[in-house]
């Protein structure tokens, strides 16, 4: 009997598992007629098995007792009572089949507020640097630009003339006297902006600009008054070591601060040549070649606009008026 009950339970369980499998995999559920046929077959099998079990079950042995034994072993029968039935209705909740959709929990670590602030600051700085680097390039690429004269409050200079007025052709002055205390080589000094550097010579501009001030080779040298001497330098430095005192002494970063009347000193062959700034402008090319000295540098890091300053040579006989000593 135990094996029959186990087989019945196994059949029921297999049917339920088949139903669940069809629901999970989205397969069609077997038709009701097929299920009824299987149930009828199982019921007939169980009925036949029960009949065979009753047929071969051993019959109880009947023993004949005497009157005395019956009296001794008489059993007091209790009156028949119906079992108590709980009349309270139990609430039955029909639960539809819900597949197990539980997944492993994914732990999301929240970033700390300090890291978020640092990341936001770094992103803002990056965008700011990109805008500062490429905004001037984009502006000057799509918009035309003209030469803009530098406006100053000072009307003239000790030598006379307006700031935006080109230098007048004058008689060339004599060379300043030699001073053996002056250093060898060619040197540039601009007291107003703190430039003190050597004037470098090379046919290729970058070979000199990487170190400091470069003299354009196709123009005059100190002491040659046939044409202007042109000096150029980077404004924002060149390499990582362009910082501190080196950057201050060897770059033209403060060149736009020069105004009419500011002095520029050039030492060459132990002679000191003193020039006075008289004009300046912003543009893409030099417009005044009558000057004795032309200084220029870039306005932005990657633009074609340049800052120009024009200067005329001071006669050594007038050094005393400017407080200049040889």
Cβ atoms of residues 282 and 307 within 8 Å: yes
Q: Which two tokens stand for residue 267?
A: 């030492």
Map tokens 């109880």 to a residue: 60
Looking at 85-94, 132-141, 145-154, which range is the least confident one?
A: 145-154
Q: Does position 213 have pLDDT exceeding 80, yes or no?
A: yes
Cross-strand bridge partners of residue 296: 232, 308
CA distance linking residue 169 with residue 188, whole number of Å: 24
| Tens digits of residue pLDDT in 76-124 | 556 666 666 666 655 555 555 555 556 556 555 666 678 888 888 898 8
Q: What's the CA angle centered on 254, arms 243 and 269, to 5 degrees?
A: 85
Strands (E), 90-158: 148-149
CA distance linking residue 320 with residue 322, whole number of Å: 5
pLDDT of residue 198: 93
pLDDT of residue 155: 45
Cross-strand bridge partners of residue 72: none
Map tokens 């080779």 to a residue: 217
CA distance linking residue 320 with residue 302, whole number of Å: 43
CATH dotted code for 149-322: 2.40.260.10
CA distance linking residue 4 with residue 11, whole number of Å: 11
pLDDT of residue 156: 44
Q: Backbone phi, then psi, for 28, in 5-degree steps? A: -65, 140
Q: What pTM, to 2 d.p., does this model score?
A: 0.51
Q: What's the CA angle centered on 237, arms 232 and 243, to 5 degrees?
A: 135
| Tens digits of residue pLDDT in 232-284 | 998 887 666 566 778 788 889 889 999 999 999 999 999 999 999 999 999 98
Cβ atoms of residues 19 and 35 within 8 Å: no
Cross-strand bridge partners of residue 196: 189
């Amino acid at each position: 009997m135990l094996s029959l009950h186990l087989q019945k339970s196994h059949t029921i369980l297999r049917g339920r598992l088949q139903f669940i499998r069809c629901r999970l995999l989205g397969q069609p559920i077997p038709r009701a007629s097929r299920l009824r046929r299987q149930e009828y077959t199982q019921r007939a099998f169980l009925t036949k098995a029960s009949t065979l079990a009753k047929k071969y079950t051993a019959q109880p042995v009947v023993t004949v007792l005497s009157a005395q034994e019956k009296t001794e072993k008489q059993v007091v029968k209790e009156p028949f009572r119906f079992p108590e039935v709980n009349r309270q209705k139990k609430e039955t909740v029909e639960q539809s089949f819900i597949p197990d959709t539980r997944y492993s929990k994914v732990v999301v670590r929240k970033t700390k507020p300090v890291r978020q602030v640092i990341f936001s600051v770094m992103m803002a700085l990056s965008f700011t640097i990109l805008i500062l680097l490429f905004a001037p390039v984009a502006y000057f690429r799509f918009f035309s630009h003209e030469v803009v004269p530098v406006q100053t409050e000072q009307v003239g200079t000790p030598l006379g003339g307006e700031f935006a007025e080109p230098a007048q052709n004058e008689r060339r002055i004599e060379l300043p006297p030699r001073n053996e205390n002056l250093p060898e080589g060619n040197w540039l000094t601009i007291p107003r902006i703190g430039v003190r550097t050597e004037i470098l010579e090379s046919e290729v501009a970058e070979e000199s600009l990487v170190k400091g001030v470069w003299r354009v080779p196709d123009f005059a040298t100190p002491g040659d008054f046939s044409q202007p001497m042109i000096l150029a330098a980077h404004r924002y430095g060149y390499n990582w070591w362009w910082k501190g005192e080196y950057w201050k002494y060897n770059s033209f970063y403060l060149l736009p601060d020069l105004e009419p009347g500011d002095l520029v000193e050039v030492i060459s062959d132990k002679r000191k040549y003193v020039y006075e700034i008289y004009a300046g402008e912003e543009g893409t090319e030099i417009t005044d070649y009558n000057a004795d000295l032309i200084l220029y540098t870039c306005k932005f890091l990657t633009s074609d606009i340049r800052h120009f300053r024009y200067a005329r040579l001071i006669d050594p006989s007038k050094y005393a008026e400017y407080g200049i000593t040889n």
